Structure 1
Amino acid sequence: MSLDLTVILLSDQDMGGSFMFKQVCREGEAYLNRYARELMNDEASFQVYYWGANPNHHDNPLHRHSFFEVCYIVDGEGMYVDDGEEHPLKRGTLFLSRPGVIHQIRSQTGLFILFVAFDLLSSKSGETCRNHFLRLREAERMILSHVEEISAVHLWKALLTEAGSRHPIKNEAMIKSMAHSLLLSFLTAFLEHGDMQMSPIPQSSSILLQRAQLFIRDNLSSPLNLNDVANDLHISGRHLARLFSRELGCTFSQFIRRERIKAATRLLTAGDHTIKEIAEMTGFGSVHYFTRVFSQETRVTPAQYRRRYMGK
């Protein structure tokens, strides 16, 4: 029997402890992050921020995203916190993290988890699909248990198997089509339901850095600690610090400060937020500290910046 067919025929229970499937997931994750990031057609176009497969996920910090993230538990037990409510996680659970909602995954023993982060490109998608994804943002059923046999789960396993195969020729178009179908299948899931010695391919530095940047930008109002962000990516704080220094030429703290200033300038020129509100929304905490840092970066105070902009 071929590798691909063997993997597809494995049950979740077999997969949870299968060295072979874990390796295939690693290969598939790397391939998808390289080739399946933009998924386009006339009706629905998607931007995928990252694909992931982690056989030993423990805790991550409370955080939120500006995009959708869907996760599937291949094996293990844990807890998912969504907007303050706790939901048990176990083998065969599919769950949705909605944009803007604070959430967290916790596990003492570790979870084998598959995940994908994405958003609909509204300007390149049809009206029907746009409406569906608007509904998905408000979905009441975010946790689906015992769903090993639904189409989304079968598609996900087949996609990872195909993308993670060692066949010398891969059909990129087919894999992208499968990935596109998987993202659409989440609508059905959440809206209508109510031993092979292969070295794993490490997640690329660019993907890790992009995920770190997304996390920071989506959580600017919260205290952002190097180790907390690194834990969310399942890497060390030292590794993350090196990524910022090597790839962006700045420290982790400098990047956060820069992003907070960018966000503050946008808020100062749009809306009616007070200086105090903007200081809190961008994570500076106090008006005094916000004013001092903003003035150092822009040579004007927040109030002066706002007046200059409004006077144009």
Structure 2
Amino acid sequence: MEHEFERRRLFLGGGPVWHSTWPPGRVEPNRRIYDYELVYFANGSGRIITGERVYECSTGSAIIIPPGLVHCTVGVTQLERWCIHFDWFGDCGAHRDNPKAEDVFVYNDDPAPYREELAAKDPELPGVSFPVFRETVPQEILLFLRRYFLPESKGVGGMLMRQGVLMQILGLVLRGEEPEAAQTPESGKLFFKAKNLIDARYLDGGLRVAGVAAEFQITANHLTKLFHAALGMSVMDYIQTRRVDYSRKLLLESNLTVREVAFASGFNDPNYFTRFFQQKTGMTPSRFRREWEIRFDGNEA
């Protein structure tokens, strides 16, 4: 029997939200989320890439990403995004106990596995399949987004008003028309698999472009072309960028020396690590750590 949508079943649960800008060229590691995420692109252009499709997003675009879908976001130009995590029935296990942003997703290289039992349920909306993508939604969505991002009023009334605003936002997205899906070529799927492999192994100092290409039975040159087309950078640039991102975390959160950080981040040459880090951040690793410590000490004073 065809599923009949019962509106009374919905009891939208709210998760973390953020409104932020991304620099051009930023590439997110592949990840999965436990809830649903609505992303509205207020300015700029970028891509959301899955194993099956590339969603080309520009000013006014919106997408609803479901739980469990491996995906990443790429900033083509500088991006301004509004992001809302939610579920349809208040049943997402990751939303309990005032979740932080990092509680609702798992990167593919995280040591902790993705826990299916925490994922939000599919609302089985008639005529709707996720991800939901709209090239353009009405600009009035910004009015509701700004309201939703205000501090929540206390009490049942405040909760219901907030749910109402979220329903308005989702309604504006869902009532639009899905653009005709462009067929993702096999090369796009191949790129995503290769990126997934790199996201899992980038800390291995022996990882080589030729080795990654060999796993997929293609040439290193062909793999590099795939990465340039999708990310605007070479395979090795992507590997080294992931390593630099990880090294920042070690510089801020550990007592390792710069040399030890270099090796722990997958660099085989500490001097090259310092040069590459400076190229990417505008400062040496030592200065990066020192400026953070000065800023932290100033905030503690």
TM-score class, shorter: 0.3 to 0.5
Structure number having the greater helix percentage: 1
State the TM-score, normalized to the length of structure 2: 0.42
